Structure 1
Amino acid sequence: MSVTAAQGFEAAGVAVGLKSTGKPDVAVVVNRGPLRTAAAVFTSNRAKANPILWSQRAVQDGVAEAIVLNSGGANCFTGAFGFQTTHQTAERAAELLGVSAGDILVCSTGLIGTGDEAFRAKVLAGVERGIAGLSADGGEAASLAIMTTDSRPKRAVQSRDGWTVGGMAKGAGMLAPGLATMLVVITTDAVVDAAQADAALRHAAKYSFDRLDSDGCMSTNDQVTLMASGASGVAPGPDEFRAALTAVCQSLAEQLQQDAEGASHDITIDVEHAATEDDAVEVGRSVARNNLFKAAVFGGDPNWGRVLAAIGTTTAVFDPYDVDVWMNGVRVCTAGRPDRPRDEVDLSPRATRVLIDLRSGNARATILTNDLTHDYVHENSAYSS
């Protein structure tokens, strides 16, 4: 049930014609309390969509009554009209729920640079229909309504002693740190205050969504929102809550990776024995963004030379002639020299694992990415047509 797995939440997903397919395209998630705790993290892209600009302000007080999400239009670079549309979306939801518009968060996803009176009317109609159709088992419908090029919804739930964390996500391309082309809503019935929610969410995002780098492209609309109702009456310790939240975020990040547009391989890049964690992340990300390496994986070629060439572009501390590389369990390079024959590496499974040992320290990090395929190029060559 994703976002309605936790007590105190209702949700809905409705179709109002934003998508040409006629599928659900507006989702509403409402926190019925008793707490209305909220935290969010946003894209670090300087080019931000109107809903991001709104939500960044609205969540500053650590309170949110509800969140409205639409697919079928990003409402980005749509000028004053677009920001007014976001404002009216929040106002309409607030009016129907009997709360302040400043406590309504808004998210949008879809094509950049489109938006007119018809778009606005459909979004507002979706708010009305969504709120009228709210239910405690509406999480599944909501997770379907936020999909764009996704082939399947992404949902995750973690239950502990008397309390639950549940979440939904959308995203299938432009997956890069800060955050990805994704919308994520996470709910919990645990008793947490705004400071605890914010700290836990930032930690969880750092070790999940910010380690997902499918194609090196960063979106304008990324938002991860956490809402806490406190309906369970249970106040978990900070470490326990952070662990459950991180598990949900990591599951959703892996589901995003596995549904990346056109991908035929899900690549996990483990970097070990780095001087610092930042070094490990930088090295892993350099490989995740290397198109030559990603194309080689697509072609079934264990070209480890491209791994070394990629990590050599970083500022991380290591000796490039003292690095080991494994591909799917086979050490193909040791101390900067060939090791096992390439034909021992089987790249036919979808799950692909690359291990890079920098021999420079005790830090590590894992980066998730995908291969570069014909289907990815085809799908993104005509996205707006």
Structure 2
Amino acid sequence: MSVTPPPAPAAPDAAQLDAAQPADQGVTAPAGFEAAGVAVGLKSTGKPDVAVVVNRGPLKVAAAVFTSNRAKANPILWSQQVIADGVAEAIVLNSGGANCFTGSFGFQTTHQTAERAAELLGVGPGDILVCSTGLIGSGDETFRAKVLDGTAQAIAALSPDSGPDAAHAIMTTDTVAKTVTIHGDGWTIGAMAKGAGMLAPGLATMLVVITTDAVLTAAQADAHLRAATRVSFDRLDSDGCMSTNDQVTLLVSGASGVTPDAAAFGAALTEVCTALAVKLQGDAEGASHDITIEVVNAASEDDAVEVGRSVARNNLFKAAIFGNDPNWGRVLAAIGTTHAAFDPYEVDVTFNGVRLCSAGAPDRPREEVDLTPRATSVVIDLKAGDAAATIFTNDLTHDYVHENSAYSS
């Protein structure tokens, strides 16, 4: 099984790096899919802002997972109904407006988007998924007209080579398009994602479309997707803020004619989701450190997740990392607020390969830890069992505060 994701950006000039890389086809890498991305003025930058991905079959199987936020955007409410029968013909996505808390007008806009796509594709609107991303509370007649026009333009531009265009069209504050392709034994998985802020469990603030030409039933697709997101997107906790528009969709064309080994396909899908989660982490708004928190020897996986998340959401810890300070005391203070089974006075904490805390007491000098690289590793050994989990987060920076204070201006 070979992996062909584009190189992940490592620094602030990621936009230039992204432009210099050969395009990964992403969602159009598997057979049976076409896509497009067009610009209709939803973004003030004039960049692409409406994308369509169409499954040409022969299978039209689909599965999706959605934000667990009770406050759900209109496209989420629509797509939850569409996906109920495990069938979808296409997905329409727009950036530049979340279409959330826009009243009945907003839901009608989503419905009309599905109807416009269905009419042009010759299918039923109940088989069209819809996604939106952007500023909450924005949406008017101009927004609706642009989305509907963009849907028509994108469908007219559909191509099996336009996966990269679709990936660029769903970007908001992202600095790079995020795509991944994995080739299995006679089948392929392709994917695209957007997300750079409000990254928290319940998926993270992101739109993800995954495609495969493997042969799967709706039940198999749903089970594989939930298993993969559980250990990837649901472990991404950049800023502790949960979005209203999160959706991860898996579309299955079956065009390869190959029924994959279940374990092999599940592992590949998890690899795709994890790779995208890491790309989302690496492009988080204003971040200067990508922090991987590995909790080991926990009494249960749930305990490991709870402990890791308590550190990922601790602003004192995140501020310390921004200041290149390996403050392990803040780690112990954070994990002490959890209900996990462990003795705080037996815990070891390691930063970037240097164990600074052993059995709840100082070990190596802090000066031995170099936190200047962007990649930062924290290992927490609870010494309470044999379970483990990894949480992905970022530091808390001046740039993050500035970008989010000026987001709607």
TM-score normalised per structure 1: 1.00
Q: 1:31 aligns with which of 29, 43, 55?
A: 55
Counterpart pick for 2:244 among 220, 241, 260 = 220
> What amino acid maps onto 1:373 in structure 2?
T
Q: Distance in 2 between matches of 1:201 and 1:152?
A: 24
**2:121 maps to 1:106:** no
Matched residue, 2:161: 137
1:199 and 2:226 aligned: no
2:298 paired with 1:274: yes
Give the aligned partner of residue 243 of structure 1: 267
2:187, 2:261 → 1: CA distance? 12
1:167 aligns with 2:194: no
Cα shift at 1:238: 1.6
Counterpart of 1:343 (choices 338, 354, 367) is: 367
| Match for residue 80 of structure 1 among 98, 104, 122 | 104
Partner of residue 209, structure 2: 185
Query: What's 2:283 paired with?
Result: 259
Counterpart CA distance in 1 for 2:183 and 2:261 is 15
* Cα distance in 2 between the residues matched to 1:106 and 1:221: 10
Residue matched to 1:319: 343
Question: In 2, Cα distance between the equivalents of 1:45 and 1:87?
Answer: 21
Partner of 1:8: 32
Give the Cα separation in 1 of the matches to 2:153 and 2:163: 15
Secondary structure of the residue aligned to 2:344 is: coil
Paired residue secondary structure (1:282): helix
2: CA distance between counterparts of 1:73 and 1:18? 7
Q: Which of 37, 55, 75 is residue 51 of structure 1 equivalent to?
A: 75
Structure 2 residue 388 is matched with structure 1 residue 360:
no
1:265-301 Cα offsets, whole Å, 9 max, x none, are 0000000000000000000000000000000000011
TM-aligned CA deviation for residue 162 of structure 1: 1.2
Q: Letter of the 1:237 partner, please give it.
A: D
Match of 1:371 among 395, 398, 408: 395
Tell me, what secondary structure is at the counterpart of 1:307? Answer: helix
Q: Deviations over 1:21-72 (max 9, x none)?
A: 0000000000000000000000000000000000001000000000000000
Conserved 8 A contact 2:185-2:260: no
Provide, for residues 66-95 of structure 1, a one-character-per-residue CA deviation record: whole Å limited to 9, x for no partner.
Answer: 000000000000000000000000000000
Q: 3-state SS of the aligned residue for 2:376?
A: strand
Which of 65, 87, 96 does residue 63 from structure 1 map onto?
A: 87
3-state SS of paired residue (1:349): coil
Distance (whole Å) between structure 1 residues aligned to residue 184 and residue 299 of structure 2:
36
The Cα of 1:308 is off from its aligned counterpart by 0.1
Cα offset, 1:241, TM superposition:
1.2
After superposition, give the CA deviation of every residue in 1:130-180 in whole Å (9 maximum; x if it has no partner): 000000001000000000000001000110121100000000010000011
User: How large is the Cα RMSD of the aligned pairs?
Assistant: 0.4
Report percent identity of matched pairs.
79
**Cα distance per residue 1:203-225 (max 9 Å; x no partner):** 00001000000000000000000
Aligned to 1:42: 66
Structure 2 residue identity aligned to 1:114: S
**Whole-angstrom CA distance in 2 between matches of 1:230 and 1:271:** 38
Matched residue, 2:10: none
Distance 1:35 1:365 in 2: 35
Q: Does 1:283 align with 2:307?
A: yes
Q: What is the SS of the residue equivalent to 1:321?
A: helix
**Structure 2 residue identity aligned to 1:276:** S
